[in-house]
Amino acid sequence: MRRQILDRIVNYIQEHGYPPTTREIGDMVCLDSTSSVYNHLQRMRDDGMIDYLDGQPRTITVPGYKYTKTD
């Protein structure tokens, strides 16, 4: 599940130029509970898969990726 979430985050940032909301991530991976999504994001952050610029999930970054918005 975490790999699927990571792939969706990367694709979203590449397409839009900014990270998805917790609710949008849930919609992308079919999780209805934003709490479940948040828990996955926390574990992903603890494992170094993602980071937050200001400690908030809306500012997700993915180490090792450089993004360019596509049209």
CATH number at residue 31: 1.10.10.10
Phi, psi of 21 (to 5 degrees): -75, 165
Give the confidence band of 59 by pLDDT, cuts at 50, 70, 90. Answer: confident
Is pTM beyond 0.85 here?
no
The pLDDT value recorded for residue 32 is 93
- The amino acid sitting at 18 is Y
- Listed in sequence order, the DSSP H helices in 1-71 are 2-16, 22-28, 34-46
Q: Give how many domains the chain has, as a whole number.
A: 1
68 or 16, greater pLDDT:
16
Evaluate whether residue 68 is within a structural domain: no
